[in-house]
Amino acid sequence: YAGDRLENKTSVSVASWSSLNARMDNRFATAFVIACVLSLISTIYMAASIGTDFWYEYRSPVQENSSDLNKSIWDEFISDEADEKTYNDALFRYNGTMGLWRRCITIPKNMHWYSPPERTESFDVVTKCVSFTLTEQFMEKFVDPGNHNSGIDLLRTYLWRCQFLLPFVSLGLMCFGALIGLCACICRSLYPTIATGILHLLAGLCTLGSVSCYVAGIELLHQKLELPDNVSGEFGWSFCLACVSAPLQFMASALFIWAAHTNRKEYTLMKAYRVA
């Protein structure tokens, strides 16, 4: 009789522990799925941010009169030898937008060497974009933009390089973390996802660093090249996507690390219970 009671208690304890373990597994799986969704969304946002040209936007009156001066500015803007002051002056005057890879201006579709006819409702404009070359991405910034004799501005130079490189580092870290997560699923173990969480944490820091460098660089540029009176500037939706991507990466990182660490701890407790 005593043996039967002991056996019944053991069976109940094992059943209770199995039920608790199943609930814990469901909780870990839910956290893992949510983290994967957040990681996917942040990756899409970051890729879209890198590939689009609306990190910063300027608003100015449309230049309808394609005079010799305007024609010269457009030609210099698309030139491979355009310096920082030259293309920024064009961005100020022609509703320019900037991304990490390209700069764009909005100009009249039909350019005239004389004053065009009076504007009509069908006045058309077209957006012209020029890509930054790798040489331009790593080119030194000068204390007085456009003046090569004014000395190198190291702060703006390295801010520009960081804002260009860090988003790619962030995207690479997330992709590598996703590969580790896939291997964890194949191995049916959550423990390797600690590495995924750490990589997402580093990716979030890189994204945050890129956004901070971009804001600092724009502010320093506007201190040296003041905007004309009728021109305004604002951060665009590409910049906002990068800003949203960073907290998503941090949340995904926290969930990955929590699920892996807690699952490992519960597995250790369960193993000790079985030994006992």
CATH of the domain at 104: 1.20.140.150
| pTM for this entry | 0.80
Q: How confident is the model at residue 238 (pLDDT cuts 50, 70, 90)?
A: very high
Q: Residue 113: its pLDDT value, please? A: 45
Asked, for residue 222, whether it belongs to a domain, the answer is yes
Average confidence (pLDDT) over 136-147 = 86
Average confidence (pLDDT) over 3-16 = 43
Asked, for residue 86, whether it belongs to a domain, the answer is yes
Percentage of the chain beyond pLDDT 90 is 36
Confirm if 169 and 206 have CB atoms less than 8 A apart.
yes
Rounded distance, CA 73 to CA 65, Å? Answer: 13
Asked, for residue 60, whether it belongs to a domain, the answer is yes
Q: Residue 273: its pLDDT value, please? A: 44
The mean-pLDDT minimum among 11-20, 55-64, 126-135 falls in 11-20
Structure tokens at 179: 């590969």
Q: Residue 11: its pLDDT value, please? A: 47
The mean-pLDDT minimum among 64-68, 76-80, 220-224 falls in 64-68
Asked, for residue 232, whether it belongs to a domain, the answer is yes
Mean of pLDDT over the chain:
79
Asked, for residue 107, whether it belongs to a domain, the answer is yes
Its domain, for residue 42, covers: 2-8+19-115+122-267
Asked, for residue 272, whether it belongs to a domain, the answer is no
Q: H-type helices in 52-131, by residue range?
A: 68-77, 84-93
Structurally, the chain folds into a number of domains equal to 1
Asked, for residue 13, whether it belongs to a domain, the answer is no
> With 60 as the cut, is the pLDDT of residue 9 above it?
no
Range list of β-strands (E), 41-154: 56-59, 97-98, 102-108, 125-131
Q: Residue 189: its pLDDT value, please? A: 67
Q: How confident is the model at residue 244 (pLDDT cuts 50, 70, 90)?
A: very high
Asked, for residue 56, whether it belongs to a domain, the answer is yes
Confirm if 174 and 249 have CB atoms less than 8 A apart.
yes
Q: Residue 22: its pLDDT value, please? A: 46
The mean-pLDDT minimum among 2-6, 97-101, 149-153 falls in 2-6
Phi/psi at 248 (5° precision): -65, -40
- Range ranked top by mean pLDDT from 112-116, 167-171, 267-271: 167-171
